[in-house]
């Protein structure tokens, strides 16, 4: 979870973190959460996440 937060802050800015945490407290799906918080499609977020993991950690 910490890596997800690190990615989100680096890519989308620290100011989105409170909204992310607030949304995560609700019963919400991943497909609803990501666009609501980051204003991007889930597929775009996940592609960025995978790319970032590869760049940062060689995964």
pLDDT at 51: 97
Question: Domain of 49?
Answer: 2-57
Q: Count how many domains the chain has.
A: 1
**3-class secondary structure per residue, 12-50:** HCHHHHHHHHHHHCCCCCHHHHHHHHHCCCHHHHHHHHH
Q: What is the pLDDT of residues 4-53, one digit of tens each?
A: 999 999 999 999 999 999 999 999 999 999 999 999 999 999 999 999 99
pLDDT-derived band at 1 (thresholds 50, 70, 90) equals: confident
Please say if the pLDDT value at position 59 is more than 90. no
pLDDT at 12: 97
């Amino acid at each position: 979870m910490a890596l997800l937060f690190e990615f989100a802050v680096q890519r989308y800015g620290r100011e989105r973190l409170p909204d992310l945490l607030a949304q995560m407290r609700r019963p919400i799906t991943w497909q609803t959460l990501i666009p609501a918080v980051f204003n991007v499609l889930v597929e775009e977020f996940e592609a960025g996440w995978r790319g970032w993991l590869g760049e940062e950690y060689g995964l």
